[in-house]
Chains A and B, each alone.
Chain A
Amino acid sequence: MNNTPRLLNRILIGILGLKLLAVGILLMLLATVPAVGSWWQSWSGDVWDGANRLFDGTRFPGRQESWVWIVLALALVLLIVLMVAWVAQQGKGRADLLLAAEDPGSVPGDVRIGGGVAEQALKNALAERPDLAGATVTTYEVRGQPALKIRLHPRPGVAPHTLTADTSALVAALEAVVGQKTPVLVHVAAGARSRFSRAERVR
């Protein structure tokens, strides 16, 4: 429902996983197979010599340090910023408006209905039910269109289809009031709240 970048998540996690796998397998081989050890020492020794030559060739005039360290530090800062941006993308996509439309009447202006209208109305309508331990309603934006997500936490043993049928009727009433058909997702969720709440005795 939210705009978590799923493909990006898969790609980045996959890259990190492959790198860790390669490093781990190399470490294990180094510990067990002597031939790998001698190969590693000659190969990485060459790489390290190359890096050393690079550092020697890029010194600040008249000083000991190389400016490659500054470049490395900047690259690391950039990587950190990218990682923070990536984490900030997770779970994004909440919207404020349920409806934004131009009023075709004689009065100038347009009509906006906040998502809070639907959230409060549905939440209050569902709060009275004895078979629910809790309900949350949130507005999301899916491809530029507002959509509602209703999460229901039923008490143990409640049949989900009766619950969703009633919710569906509530949504129909809301649509009649707002005057717009909004995509609605109902998630009947299990969780600590439904697991540890008392079962509904009387029906």
Chain B
Amino acid sequence: MSSVIEQQNPTGEEPADASGGPGHSASLDMRRILDRETHSSRAAAAGIAATLVILFCLYALLESAVRAVGQPPWLVDPQTAAERIVSLPNGIPPLLLGVTGAVVTAAGLFFFLSAILPGRRARHLLDDPRVAVVVDDEVIASALARRARLAANVTSEQVMVVVSQRQAVVNVRPTSGVPVSENAVREAVEDELRSMAPIPMPAVRVNLATSGVIGA
């Protein structure tokens, strides 16, 4: 509310303190936002799970409603379904049963693992005094590839950079007959990384391919 007072008083230089609450809680909120941005929300898995449960419920609802009003069943009567399940290893080829079990297990493993794994996204943080910044690893890789390409004097198809949480791997395929200095590439990439300063800082590894590209 005091932020409007700030506007009327042009000499007031600190809208930061006016925006409500101590700076500590603001930085805590930012910390939380960044935490949420670098980890998956599992919204996709949640959508799939909910859809599965809804479809199953709809089918069971249909059959049990049909049963409640005493109409003939659509696909299978709940009674016969239950009896078949009770006598399970019989009445179905064991191979089909095993494969069904394997598929269900795989689906269960997918959901279970996506629930318990940390779900870290391929993103890095950048330090900025005013705003919180997250950068996709792909963007960092693309920027590093550009620098490596200029340092090695090759075309963009000859450079491939893979950035992971703690490592940046630069693969360069030199043009046949034109030597490429590994140190120059490393220097350039490390210089770019230093000025970018992603958190956590990845270590640079440069791979020069032994075979060159002809006519590039």
**B213 within 8 Å of A by Cβ?**
no
**A137 within 8 Å of B by Cβ?**
no
Binds A, one of B94-102, B170-178, B181-189, B203-211: B94-102
Is B126 a contact partner of A160 (Cβ separation < 8 A)?
Answer: yes
A33 to chain B, nearest CB (A): 9
Q: Which of A12, A102, A167 contacts B49 (CB 8 A)?
A: A12
| A150–B33 CA distance with the chains assembled, in angstroms | 13
**A6 within 8 Å of B by Cβ?**
yes
| A101–B98 CA distance with the chains assembled, in angstroms | 64
| A194–B135 CA distance with the chains assembled, in angstroms | 13
| A189–B142 CA distance with the chains assembled, in angstroms | 12
B-chain residues with CB within 8 Å of residue A160 when the two chains form the complex = 126, 133, 135, 139-140, 143, 196
Q: Which of A101, A111, A195 has the most CB of B within 10 A?
A: A101
Query: Provided the pairs A12-B46, A185-B33 are in contact, do residues A26 and B101 lie with their beta carbons within 8 angstroms?
Result: yes
**Residue of chain B at shortest CB distance from A37:** B89
Q: Which of B80-125 contact A (CB under 8 A)?
A: 82-83, 85-90, 94-95, 97-98, 100-116
**A53 within 8 Å of B by Cβ?**
no
**Residue of chain A at shortest CB distance from B45:** A13
Q: How many residues of A contact B (CB 8 A)?
A: 93
**Residue of chain A at shortest CB distance from B82:** A48
Is B134 a contact partner of A32 (Cβ separation < 8 A)?
Answer: no
B74 to chain A, nearest CB (A): 14
Query: Provided the pairs A20-B105, A87-B47 are in contact, do residues A179 and B3 lie with their beta carbons within 8 angstroms?
Result: yes
Is B53 a contact partner of A16 (Cβ separation < 8 A)?
Answer: yes
B-chain residues with CB within 8 Å of residue A172 when the two chains form the complex = 130
Is B112 a contact partner of A18 (Cβ separation < 8 A)?
Answer: yes
Query: Provided the pairs A73-B61, A145-B20 are in contact, do residues A24 and B102 lie with their beta carbons within 8 angstroms?
Result: yes
List 6 A-B pairs, minimum CB-CB distance, nearest first. A27-B101, A20-B108, A17-B112, A24-B105, A17-B111, A24-B104
On A, residues with C-beta under 8 Å from B are 1-2, 4, 6, 9-14, 16-32, 34, 37, 40-41, 44-45, 48, 51, 64-65, 69-70, 72-73, 76-77, 79-80, 83-84, 86-87, 90-91, 99, 101-105, 111, 142-143, 145, 147, 150, 154, 156-161, 164-165, 167-168, 171-172, 175-176, 179-190, 194-195, 199
- Cross-chain pairs A/B with CB under 8 angstroms, 7 sampled: A1-B37, A20-B104, A26-B101, A34-B89, A90-B46, A101-B1, A185-B131
- Given contacts A91-B43, A143-B29, 5 further A-B pairs with CB under 8 A are A14-B115, A30-B101, A31-B89, A181-B3, A184-B131
